[in-house]
């Protein structure tokens, strides 16, 4: 018989937290001028479109892999998006896919170990927290870019 660790946050609240971050990142994408979304960088960092490619390659595909216990290698940018509107469309599709796959997780799943992308063998809850942390990290880079472009980013707490 499996025992569960003490629960601090419900799966529903964790999803709401994650999707709040995703909604904020979407707003950051929207604020970028089209050209700068693909070209602007500071100090050798990737343009925000490349950061968005990474986020799109992690969230929905990784959660789908977790739910299906299907270990797939990490692949980024296999679909060449050339317009910011395409990113927003893919972002919305990924959001719906995350919501759909989230419903397939059980409370027991969160403590199960999963080898994410065949590289990161951790409990599923740690993988999900990584998805959120990674997005916050890259969104922070986007905030720096927007400020450098003279654009006021959204308040980080408006999720």
| Sequence ranges of the binding site | 138
DSSP for 40-62, please give it.
--STTPPPHHHHHHHHHHHHHHH
**CA–CA gap between residue 38 and residue 139 (Å, rounded):** 15
Residue positions forming the annotated binding site for a divalent metal cation:
138
Give whole-number Cα distances, 159 to 19, 22, 145, 155, in Å: 8, 8, 20, 9
- The residue written with tokens 């599923």 in the block is 124
Q: What are the helix (H) ranges across 2-83? A: 11-31, 34-39, 48-68
């Amino acid at each position: 018989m499996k025992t569960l660790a003490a629960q601090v946050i419900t799966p529903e609240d964790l999803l709401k937290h994650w999707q709040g971050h995703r909604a904020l990142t979407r707003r950051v994408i929207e604020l970028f001028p089209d050209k700068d979304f693909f070209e602007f960088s500071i100090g050798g960092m990737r343009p925000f479109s490349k950061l968005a490619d990474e986020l799109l390659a992690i969230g929905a595909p990784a959660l789908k892999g977790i739910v299906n216990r299907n270990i797939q290698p990490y692949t980024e940018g296999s679909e060449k998006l050339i317009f910011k509107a395409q990113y927003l469309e893919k972002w919305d599709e990924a959001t719906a896919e995350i919501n759909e796959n989230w419903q397939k997780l059980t409370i027991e799943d969160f403590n199960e170990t999963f080898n994410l992308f065949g590289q990161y063998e951790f409990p599923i809850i740690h993988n999900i927290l990584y998805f959120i942390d990674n997005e916050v990290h890259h969104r922070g880079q986007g905030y720096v870019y927007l400020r450098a472009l003279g654009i006021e980013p959204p308040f980080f707490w408006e999720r």
